[in-house]
Amino acid sequence: MSRDGAESIRAAREAVVEYAPRLADLTPGRSGNLSVRVGDRVAVTPTGVAYDAFDVADVPVVTLDGEQVDGEMAPSSEVPMHTGIYRHRDTGAIVHAHSPAATTLSILGEPLPPIHYMLVAVGGEVPVAGYAPFGTEELAANAVAAMDEADADAVILANHGLVVGGDDLESTVENTVHVDALAGQYLQARAVGDPVELSEADLDDARERFATYGQQPDESDEE
């Protein structure tokens, strides 16, 4: 591996250590996991370990086929799902959580409809993938199929939890928080009335607005 490649892998493992504790705010116990992809390598949380109880050298590194090539600890049991999504979708990071509201929808077997413009960050509606046992290739295939069909970067796993993909762990963790919060608000709204969904035109408008949202480069500084 080149020096640049090794540095990129180390940065990915550092990101796993940095962001893993955020899973404690999203998911009970030690049931969440996250990962970062660097080319044909994936840095992923270790299995069955408290989110703040490992360091960079412990972080497992696996190939896209799931073979462990580095790290002092064994990788998450959900490696097949992470690598399955990476092999089929253009995704740089993945967060999997058993967050309360999204998991409630998973138990109901229901998607999260486009009830808020923030959902465009993950594509719009968050679909439901059919049930399969955790840690299996079948679960990975179901997740990929649902994401592809809905053209979404997030998916609710039936009777299981939530998966969100993104460019990096910072934005992916943030979007996971948004999705679960909106799932909770959707369930609350359903309890008192009929939630109103945004139209595709509304979502397209939000996508256009997000394209210029936040701090933009100063064109006067460009040569």
CB atoms within 10 A of CB 154: 28
Is 14 catalytic? The answer is no
How far is residue 159's CA from residue 120's CA, in Å, rounded to a whole number? 24
What 3-state class would DSSP assign to 71? Answer: coil
78, 137, 170, 219: the catalytic one is 78
Nearest one of 111, 140, 116 to 206, comparing CA atoms: 116
Q: What span, in angstroms and rounded, lies between the C-alpha atoms of 171 and 165?
A: 9
| Residue 195 and residue 189 in contact, taking contact as beta carbons nearer than 8 Å | yes
User: Phi/psi zone of residue 128: left (φ > 0), alpha (ψ -120 to 50 degrees), beta?
Assistant: beta
Q: Which residues carry out catalysis?
A: 78
